[in-house]
Amino acid sequence: MIRGIYRKTDKNGERFLTIGTFDGVHLGHQLLFKQLKNKKRNDEDIISVVTFEPHPRIFFKNVENLSLITIIEERIRLLLEFVDEVIVLKFDEKLSKLSPEEFISFLCNGFKINTIVEGENFHFGHGKGGDVALLRKLGKSFGFDVDIANLYIFNGLPISSSRIRRLIISGKIEEANKLLGWDFFISGEVIHGDRIGTFLGFPTANLRLPEYKIIPQSGVYAAEVEISGKRYLGALNIGVKPTVGGKKRSVEVHVIDFEGDLYQEVITVKFKYKIRDEIKFDSITALKKQIRADIDNIKANYEMNL
């Protein structure tokens, strides 16, 4: 049932771990990881995260309105910035049918666990039948401690993945980035588009988007674009391009002061702030004038140490 174990250590001590999906690896999650680190007794102890692939909602085909801040590869990379080890369990029929007791037994048989830290609303096992009270009881049987995670309160409310998703979907990128502790990004392969950007004099890279990746509200955003390890400013457009009669929603970025062919390259676009909503202009000339103003806005307001 283990899909993979990703480590940045060769330590062989006891595990101080937490279990969950950890979409976004946000400041609330990061506070939990600090809580785990503070419990370590020595350098051999391992801070570990247990997560799942596919997302449980995908397995149960409950994918309506499913939007992920981070897909699994992104999540693993971000998690390893804060913990020693990421254990990815394959969420399949066998795992989904494990009772809470069987699930914890499976983990304890595979790993020496010292402490598990979870939120007070944590549920686990088949039908989410296990809660923190049962986890404490199982801890006494299997020999591990259970602690409740501290909440990270921001502007009077706990930070959560669902709160951040709502901010991203509504285009409130700067606030979302504050709660994440990093800049929301989309990575994808550059694919052929309709070349409207080139026609307008502002060529764009059109991105193939990962399945279930959350997409912000339509509009124009200031961005940082990473291409082969180098960083550039970018003017990012999300929408249907109504001025030129577009109908299909796309994500494309004009990489400022970049020359070259990006087709089939994988690039990463970090969102900085929203400039404006998508607008249907009266003419192509008006559209081109606004694109130039958007680029000037980015250059004037966003300083980057390239």
Do 133 and 193 sit in the same domain of this protein?
Answer: no
pLDDT band at 8 (very low <50, low <70, confident <90, very high): confident
Mean pLDDT of 232-247: 87
Do 202 and 293 sit in the same domain of this protein?
Answer: yes
CATH number of the domain encompassing residue 203:
2.40.30.30
CA distance 48 to 33: 9
Give the pLDDT score at 200. Answer: 79
CA distance 7 to 204: 37
Give the pLDDT score at 104. Answer: 98
Do 138 and 41 sit in the same domain of this protein?
Answer: yes
Q: In this predicted model, what pLDDT tens digit does every residue of 215-239 receive, in sequence order?
A: 999 999 999 999 999 999 999 999 9
Question: What is the pTM assigned to this prediction?
Answer: 0.93
Domain count, the chain: 2
Do 87 and 46 sit in the same domain of this protein?
Answer: yes
- Choice between 14 and 283, residue whose per-residue pLDDT is larger: 14
Give the pLDDT score at 3. Answer: 86
pLDDT band at 302 (very low <50, low <70, confident <90, very high): confident
DSSP E strands in the chain: the ranges are 2-7, 15-19, 46-53, 85-90, 113-118, 145-148, 153-154, 157-158, 185-191, 205-208, 219-227, 230-239, 250-255, 266-276
Do 146 and 255 sit in the same domain of this protein?
Answer: no
> Of 158, 192, 207, which residue sits at a domain end?
158
- Contact between 131 and 104 (Cβ < 8 Å): no
Kindly state the DSSP code that residue 225 receives in the 8-state scheme. E
Domain assignment present for 294:
yes
Percentages helix, strand, coil for the chain (3-state, rounded to 5) are 30, 30, 40
Tokens of 170: 């509504």
Do 54 and 93 sit in the same domain of this protein?
Answer: yes
Domain assignment present for 177:
no
- On the question of pLDDT at 303 being above 70, the answer is no
- On the question of pLDDT at 143 being above 80, the answer is yes
Do 130 and 29 sit in the same domain of this protein?
Answer: yes
- Choice between 11 and 185, residue whose per-residue pLDDT is larger: 185
Give the pLDDT score at 186. Answer: 98
Kindly state the DSSP code that residue 283 receives in the 8-state scheme. S
Give the pLDDT score at 199. Answer: 64
Residue 75, φ and ψ in degrees, nearest 5: -65, -45
Do 128 and 233 sit in the same domain of this protein?
Answer: no
Give the pLDDT score at 10. Answer: 84
Domain assignment present for 135:
yes
Tokens of 204: 């764009």
Give the pLDDT score at 38. Answer: 95
Give the pLDDT score at 65. Answer: 85
Q: Got the DSSP string for 171-183?
A: T-HHHHHHHHTS-
Q: Supply the mean pLDDT for the chain.
A: 93
Do 147 and 259 sit in the same domain of this protein?
Answer: no
- On the question of pLDDT at 304 being above 90, the answer is no
Mean pLDDT of 242-250: 80
Domain encompassing residue 36: 2-158
Domain assignment present for 111:
yes
Domain assignment present for 176:
no
Query: Which range, of 8-12, 78-82, 173-177, averages the lowest pLDDT?
Result: 8-12
Domain assignment present for 92:
yes
Mean pLDDT of 67-86: 97
CA distance 189 to 192: 10
Q: In this predicted model, what pLDDT tens digit does every residue of 265-282 receive, in sequence order?
A: 999 999 999 999 999 888
pLDDT band at 306 (very low <50, low <70, confident <90, very high): very low
Domain assignment present for 246:
yes
- Contact between 69 and 161 (Cβ < 8 Å): yes
Do 243 and 128 sit in the same domain of this protein?
Answer: no
CATH number of the domain encompassing residue 55:
3.40.50.620
Give the pLDDT score at 162. Answer: 96
Do 112 and 150 sit in the same domain of this protein?
Answer: yes
Q: In this predicted model, what pLDDT tens digit does every residue of 105-130 receive, in sequence order?
A: 999 999 999 999 999 999 999 999 99
Percent of the chain with pLDDT over 90: 83
Q: In this predicted model, what pLDDT tens digit does every residue of 278-296 receive, in sequence order?
A: 998 888 999 999 999 999 9
Domain assignment present for 166:
no
Contacts of 193 (CB under 8 A, 6+ apart): 204, 206, 250, 252
CA distance 287 to 190: 24
Do 148 and 114 sit in the same domain of this protein?
Answer: yes
